[in-house]
């Protein structure tokens, strides 16, 4: 990936970004203590600046759109939950801001989470438990256009790629509507409840489910949900 030239260069007095010595970071993580820890680490380094912090996805989106001209590195904590969880946020950021540098940060290096983050648009993954020096090097690497993977052993790459592949399969085979039905079904709702949620008839939901089973080559709803969970399309506790 190629980063464009600094948009503010060549425009005298246009922005303070030209005066900033280092790279700007936007920090999005639900835990204040994690944000404080990362901010402290970044503040110790003159070549990095925390531009903004947010504890939820909406705040994160606002911060990124405010500082997008600074070509920031956005760190997204993967334990961000809710309607707009970490993965949806990453997808949204990638879609809205194109070439932004996005680094996913997680408390554990679990291959499915990493493959989900990379599939939706992260430039890399950093385990929050790594040494500070490694963390900072990863930020620089990601900003320079590298894919970064810090924490998991390189042997995990095979499994991460398999997860991405399964996700690609599911995404390419199912229509957007079918994915939506499957995602809601994974919450354990009945066809009638799914229909109510999506504003369609129960009969339509059953038809969608039938097509989904066919496309995924499964015979039951549980098997379909399991396939979706294995692909990282939905996250379901205890099914792995």
Among 4, 155, 199, 238, binds other proteins (CB under 8 A): 155
171 forms part of the interface with other proteins (CB under 8 A)? yes
Among 32, 158, 214, 217, binds other proteins (CB under 8 A): 158
165 forms part of the interface with other proteins (CB under 8 A)? yes
Six token digits for residue 84: 């707009």
Six token digits for residue 129: 């438990």
131 forms part of the interface with other proteins (CB under 8 A)? no
Alpha helices in the chain (DSSP H): 32-43, 57-67, 86-97, 111-120, 132-143, 156-173, 176-185, 191-198, 202-216, 221-231
147 forms part of the interface with other proteins (CB under 8 A)? yes
Q: Choose between 63 and 164: whose C-beta lies nearer to other proteins.
A: 164
180 forms part of the interface with other proteins (CB under 8 A)? no
Give the total of residues touching other proteins (CB under 8 A). Answer: 25
161 forms part of the interface with other proteins (CB under 8 A)? yes
Q: Choose between 159 and 202: whose C-beta lies nearer to other proteins.
A: 159
Label residue 189 exposed, middle or buried (CB < 10 Å: 0-12, 13-18, 19+).
Answer: middle
121 forms part of the interface with other proteins (CB under 8 A)? yes
CB within 8 Å of 198: residues ≥ 6 apart: 180, 181, 184, 205
The C-alpha atoms of residue 23 and residue 3 are separated, in whole angstroms, by 13
154 forms part of the interface with other proteins (CB under 8 A)? yes
At CA 170, angle to CA 230 and CA 101, rounded to 5?
80
Q: Which stretch binds other proteins (CB under 8 A): 34-42, 161-169, 193-201, 220-228?
A: 161-169
Q: Which stretch binds other proteins (CB under 8 A): 41-49, 163-171, 181-189, 192-200?
A: 163-171
C-alpha separations of 200 from 162, 179, 190, 192 in Å = 34, 15, 13, 9
The C-alpha atoms of residue 1 and residue 183 are separated, in whole angstroms, by 31
139 forms part of the interface with other proteins (CB under 8 A)? no
Q: Which stretch binds other proteins (CB under 8 A): 10-18, 69-77, 169-177, 201-209?
A: 169-177
Q: Choose between 53 and 123: whose C-beta lies nearer to other proteins.
A: 123
Six token digits for residue 82: 């809710």
Among 149, 181, 186, 224, binds other proteins (CB under 8 A): 149
Q: What is the DSSP letter of 21?
A: -
- Give least dist CB 27 to other proteins, A: 22
47 forms part of the interface with other proteins (CB under 8 A)? no
The C-alpha atoms of residue 185 and residue 38 are separated, in whole angstroms, by 37
């Amino acid at each position: 990936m190629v980063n464009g030239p600094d948009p503010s260069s060549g425009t005298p007095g246009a922005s303070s970004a030209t005066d900033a010595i280092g790279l700007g970071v936007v920090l999005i993580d639900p835990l204040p203590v994690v944000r404080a820890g990362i901010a402290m680490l970044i503040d110790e380094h003159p070549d990095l600046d925390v531009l903004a912090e947010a504890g939820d996805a909406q705040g994160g989106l606002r911060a990124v759109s405010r500082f997008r001209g600074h070509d920031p590195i956005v760190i997204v904590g993967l334990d961000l939950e809710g309607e707009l969880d970490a993965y949806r946020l990453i997808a949204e950021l990638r879609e809205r801001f194109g070439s932004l540098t996005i680094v996913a940060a997680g408390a554990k290096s679990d291959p499915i989470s990493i493959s989900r983050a990379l599939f939706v648009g992260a430039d890399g993954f950093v385990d929050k438990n790594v040494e500070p020096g490694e963390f900072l090097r990863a930020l620089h690497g990601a900003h320079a256009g590298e894919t970064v993977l810090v924490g998991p052993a390189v042997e995990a790459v095979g499994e991460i790629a398999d997860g991405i592949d399964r996700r690609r399969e599911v995404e390419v085979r199912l229509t957007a509507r079918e994915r939506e039905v499957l995602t809601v079904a994974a919450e354990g709702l009945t066809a009638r409840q799914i229909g109510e949620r999506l504003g369609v008839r129960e009969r339509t939901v059953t038809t969608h489910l039938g097509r989904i089973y066919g496309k995924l080559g499964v015979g039951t709803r549980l098997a379909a949900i399991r396939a979706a969970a294995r692909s990282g399309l939905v996250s379901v506790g205890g099914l792995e």
